[in-house]
Amino acid sequence: MSRPGLQVALLAAGWAAFFWLVSAQELWARTLSRLFPGVSTPVYERNTLWELTWQHLSLIGVTMALVLLIGVGLGVWATRPQGRAFLPLVNNLTTVGQTFPPIAVLFLALPLVGFGAVGAVAALTLYALLPVTRSTVLGLQGVEAPVLDAARGLGLSAAQRLWRLEVPVALPAILSGIRTALVLTVATATLAPMVGTGGLGVPIIAGLGADNLALILQGAVPVALLALLGDFTMRTLERRLTPWAS
């Protein structure tokens, strides 16, 4: 089997093992009961780990869709002639989201959007915008001026230069920024229950409140695995889409 094929096979096996693990509620109960025999509640009982995982994945999915739409869109617009004057402003605005700790961003969003999933998604989106926007700007600015001049000389329109020349050159940087944003979102989404929504942060926060390490592990282990799988998925995608940059 070729190396790319092996990576895809390992990735598929990793995701299959992850979903099997989070669906094995009884296995978690038995394992955590043995590890922490003195704990009366070794697993979170209000929701199954499977339900909490899908809530977490839903938060991540909606957030990353918005981050891609807004972050890449801002990066492209700020490198066009009509938006280049606003590039410093775009950089400053996207930096604001990471100036504060994640929990502060979540609570700052509450007066605007209130408690619940909407507030969590808004805060997570703001927090994850910086790496995507910045990598898009840096990638598009990496196209050398003589190459752009040659494309104009060949009669390519602005849209053709963007999609046929600039985006392919910038794609490795853009994908790298998306990978960073994804891992940030997976980790930061564990704080979402503090503003009234679900996810794998629910047992972590419950465990912290009750000084229950078993509950903390029930949320923390899947989050760590999810972050590793998300990073590996994006690295595999980068190698498939940008083989010249590998």
Per-residue confidence (pLDDT) for residue 246, from 0 to 100: 61
**Domain residue limits, the chain:** 53-245
Alpha-carbon Rg for the chain, nearest whole angstrom, is 21
Cβ within 8 Å of residue 219, ≥6 positions away: 44, 52, 190, 200, 201, 202, 203, 204, 207
Greater model confidence, 103 or 237 = 237
State pLDDT tens for residues 209-245: 889 999 999 999 999 999 999 999 999 999 888 887 7
Cβ proximity of 192 and 106 under 8 Å: yes
Q: Span 129-149, mean pLDDT?
A: 87
Cβ proximity of 205 and 194 under 8 Å: yes
From CA 211, how far away is CA 215, in angstroms rounded? 9
Mean of per-residue pLDDT scores for the chain = 88
From CA 199, how far away is CA 189, in angstroms rounded? 7
* CATH architecture for segment(s) 53-245: Orthogonal Bundle (1.10)
Q: Would you say residue 135 has pLDDT above 60?
A: yes
